[in-house]
Structure 1
Amino acid sequence: MRIRNAAAVGALILGASLLEVPGAVAADDSVALTATFNDPAGTTAQQDAIRNELISLIDRTPAGAEINGSMYLFTDGGVGNALIAAKKRGVKVKLIVDGDAVAATGPDGKATGSEYAALAAATGLGTDLAADSWVLACPVTRGCIGNRNLGGGDDGAINHNKFLLFSKVGSTDKVVFQTSANLTTSQRRNLFNNAVTIPDAGSGLYAAYLAYWQDMRAYGSSGDGLATYYKTTDSGPYKTYFFPRQERTGTTYSTDPGTDTVVSLLNNVDCAGGTTRIRIGMYAFTRSQVADRLVQLKGAGCRVELLHNGEDGNLGSAVRDTIAGRLDYAARCAGTATDAAGVARTIGIHSKYLLIEGTYLGGANRKLVFTGSHNYTYPNLRSHDETLLKIDNAAVYDAFAANFESIKAGPHCTAW
Structure 2
Amino acid sequence: MTRPCFGVVAQTRSRSRAATRRGSVRRVVAAISMAAIVVVGLPAAYADGGAHGGHDAGAAPSGMARHGWMPVAGPLFNDPKGSWAAQDNQMHNVIESIAHAPRHSEIDIATWSYFLGRATDALIAAARRGVVVHFVMARGKSEVGSDFGRLRAAFRARNAAHPRAKRSVARTCAATCRGTHGTMHTKMFLFSRTGAAKDVAMWGSPNVTTNAIRHQWNELFTVVNRTKVYEYAKSVFHQLWRDRPHPQPFVVHWFGQVGLAPLPYRGRIDWVSRQLDKVSCRDTVTGSSGGRSVRRTRIQAANAVLSGSVGASVAQHLRTLWNRGCMVSLMYTRLDHVVHGILESPGGRGPVPIHPVHIDVNGDGIYDDYLHLKVLAIHGDIGNRPDATLVMDGSANWANLSRSNDEMLGYFKRPWVYWAYSRWLDHMWQHAPWSARLAPGARTLPSRDRFAHVELD
Scaled by the length of structure 2, the TM-score of the pair is 0.74
Change (3 A) 1:335 1:18: same
Residue aligning to 1:251? none
Change (3 A) 1:101 1:352: same
* Rounded Cα–Cα distance in structure 2 between residues aligned with 1:127 and 1:89: 13
Change (3 A) 1:358 1:125: farther
Query: Match for 2:412: what amino acid?
Result: I
Residue aligning to 1:366? 388
What SS does structure 1 have at the residue aligned with 2:86? helix
* Rounded Cα–Cα distance in structure 2 between residues aligned with 1:11 and 1:386: 24
Q: Alpha-carbon deviations, 1:44-89, whole Å to 9, x = none? A: 2211111111112112222111111111100011112111111112
* Rounded Cα–Cα distance in structure 1 between residues aligned with 2:246 and 2:416: 37
Please say if 1:144 is aligned against 2:172: no
Q: Alpha-carbon deviations, 1:310-361, whole Å to 9, x = none? A: xxxx3111111111154552011122446xxxxx972210001100111212
* More displaced stretch, 11-20 vs 295-304: 11-20
* More displaced stretch, 42-51 vs 325-334: 325-334
How far off is 1:367 after superposition? 2.2
Alignment of 1:3-402 (within 5 A): 6-9=34-37, 16-20=57-61, 24-28=63-67, 29-31=69-71, 33-104=73-144, 113-122=145-154, 131-139=166-174, 142-148=175-181, 157-202=182-227, 204-218=228-242, 220=243, 225=245, 230-247=250-267, 256-257=268-269, 260-272=270-282, 273-286=294-307, 287-309=311-333, 314-325=334-345, 326=350, 328-337=352-361, 346-381=368-403, 383-402=404-423
Change (3 A) 1:123 1:261: closer
* Rounded Cα–Cα distance in structure 2 between residues aligned with 1:232 and 1:196: 17
- Checking the alignment, whether the CA contact within 8 Å between 1:241 and 1:388 is kept in structure 2 is yes
Query: Match for 1:357: what amino acid?
Result: H
What SS does structure 2 have at the residue aligned with 1:367? strand
Query: Match for 2:151: what amino acid?
Result: L
Q: Alpha-carbon deviations, 1:263-295, whole Å to 9, x = none? A: 111111121244211101110111211111111
Change (3 A) 1:411 1:290: closer
Q: CA RMSD in A?
A: 2.9
- Checking the alignment, whether the CA contact within 8 Å between 1:238 and 1:392 is kept in structure 2 is yes
What SS does structure 1 have at the residue aligned with 2:90? helix
* Rounded Cα–Cα distance in structure 1 between residues aligned with 2:327 and 2:156: 50
- Checking the alignment, whether the CA contact within 8 Å between 2:380 and 2:389 is kept in structure 1 is yes
What SS does structure 1 have at the residue aligned with 2:176? coil
- Checking the alignment, whether the CA contact within 8 Å between 2:375 and 2:391 is kept in structure 1 is yes
Which 5+ residue runs of structure 1 have no aligned equivalent?
105-112, 149-156, 248-255, 339-343
Query: Match for 2:219: what amino acid?
Result: N
Q: Identity across aligned pairs (percent)?
A: 25
* Rounded Cα–Cα distance in structure 2 between residues aligned with 1:44 and 1:158: 31
Q: Alpha-carbon deviations, 1:210-265, whole Å to 9, x = none? A: 111111111x2xx5x36875343111111111111225xxxxxxxx43xx111111
What SS does structure 2 have at the residue aligned with 1:375? coil
* Rounded Cα–Cα distance in structure 2 between residues aligned with 1:16 and 1:163: 23
**Larger % of helix: which?**
2
Change (3 A) 1:133 1:10: closer
What SS does structure 2 have at the residue aligned with 1:246? coil
Which 5+ residue runs of structure 2 have no aligned equivalent?
1-32, 43-55, 283-293, 436-457
- Checking the alignment, whether the CA contact within 8 Å between 2:299 and 2:377 is kept in structure 1 is yes
What SS does structure 2 have at the residue aligned with 1:301? coil
* More displaced stretch, 64-73 vs 388-397: 388-397
- Checking the alignment, whether the CA contact within 8 Å between 1:227 and 1:246 is kept in structure 2 is no
* Rounded Cα–Cα distance in structure 2 between residues aligned with 1:11 and 1:371: 17
Rg larger for: 2
